[in-house]
Amino acid sequence: MQGIVLALNIGSTSTKVGLLLEGEPLISETLPAQDAYDDQIQIRQRKEVIETFIRMYGIDLHAVDIIVSRGGLMQPGPSGIYRINRAMCDDLISYRYGRHVSSLGPLIAFAMARSLGVDAVVVDPPSTDEFHELARFSGIPCITRVSAFHVLNQKAAARKASGDLKKRYHEINLVVVHMGGGITIGAHGKGRVIDATHGLSEGPFTPERAGGLPIRELLMYAQGHAEKDMEALLSGSSGLFAYLGTKDASVVEEKIRTGDGFAESVYRAMAYQISKDVGAMATVLKGDIQAVVLTGGLAHSDMLVSWIREMVGFIAPLIVYPGEDEIAVLLDSGLRILRGEEAVFPYPPL
């Protein structure tokens, strides 16, 4: 069976939408998103933008056969495709497992799917948990390390790299680095991500996030600051933005080309921290690695990639897939579901 697949990928500054029409080439577009802290306002605004996009192509909303969304922070479980239901939506809107704008995607998809009478699913959500038991220890018994990273794009890049290496994903080991507004590094061992840096609280600093920080100094700095203000700082106003006043890597590179030595030091420091975590994940895989894979928007930066290559090239060959194909992955997953080629799991994960 071939039908119409609608894919949604909700980000902090954009709403990415894709349509697959009876097996024809996909239509995809990145639509702007208005900044609104209130989730209900965002859901309403983004839903209207999505519906307008669909009508712009002369497509009847009721002709859509399935809606596929990037997942949010929900109950951890194995990777795969999960049917969106009320229980998932309740977990997402209550922030039970954390707050992130990606959680709006399944909420929008569920609302649209109910009105259209079709299924809505998420694919490889960021809360996918395949961690080795040793990866969960934090050093404080009441705090457990949890899995929250760019699973969808990391898995897609890992599978692509496996194919290019003429291997199956479940046969090889890879370290995969997603580099965008958030940066996460995962140890992919024979088809499972057995450890990864947390996308909001670990790993290197990013264009807008602080990454892992010295704990004592952070506690001292946080005194006298409201929790909401600290959250906004750590997840949106840190990293390149805090040092250089921009989240745009191309602006940073232009500063460097015009002789800004401080900008070069900051950008090199981000490459340094990324490389250091690649080395840590290589250790998790005991050095048995077939490739280090770089993906995401920052992989377009030849400058950044070259610095990372200098530091990690001794570990394994470097494979670079600039950008991300998340909409294409979501559309393909939806088509395979319609054809009966892909299993859909219930939520919560068993």
Are 194 and 204 in contact, with CB atoms under 8 Å apart? no
| Selection from 142, 149, 262, 232 nearest residue 196 by Cα | 149
133-316: same fold as 4-128+326-338? yes
| Selection from 199, 188, 179 nearest residue 160 by Cα | 188
Residue 330: pLDDT band (50, 70, 90) is very high
Are 204 and 274 in contact, with CB atoms under 8 Å apart? yes
Residues 148-158, mean pLDDT to the nearest whole number? 96
- Across all residues in the chain, what is the average pLDDT? 94
For the chain, how far is it from start to end, CA to CA, in angstroms? 28
Are 265 and 294 in contact, with CB atoms under 8 Å apart? no
Q: Is the pLDDT of residue 205 over 80?
A: yes
What pLDDT was estimated at residue 35? 57
Identity at 163, one-letter amino acid code: G
Are 113 and 344 in contact, with CB atoms under 8 Å apart? no
What pLDDT was estimated at residue 40? 87
| CA–CA–CA angle 119, 151, 219 (5° rounding) | 120
CA distance 48 to 109: 12
Residue 37: pLDDT band (50, 70, 90) is low
CA distance 345 to 76: 13
- 344: Cβ–Cβ under 8 A, 6 or more apart, which residues? 81, 82, 83, 119, 121, 337
CA distance 73 to 89: 10
CATH classification of 133-316, choosing from 3.40.605.10, 3.30.420.40, 3.40.190.10, 3.30.2130.30? 3.30.420.40
Overall pTM surpassing 0.85 (yes/no): yes
Helix (H, G, I), strand (E, B) or coil at 153: helix
> How many angstroms from the chain centroid is the CA of residue 143?
23
* pLDDT tens track for 250-288: 999 999 999 999 999 999 999 999 999 999 999 999 999
- What residues does each domain of the chain span? 4-128+326-338, 133-316
| Selection from 199, 121, 108 nearest residue 154 by Cα | 199
- Maximum pairwise Cα distance, the chain: 59
Question: Among the residues of the chain, which ranges form H helices?
Answer: 39-56, 86-93, 104-116, 151-164, 215-222, 227-236, 239-244, 249-257, 261-284, 302-312, 326-338
* CATH entry 3.30.420.40 includes domain 4-128+326-338: yes
- 148: Cβ–Cβ under 8 A, 6 or more apart, which residues? 73, 98, 126, 127, 198, 199, 200
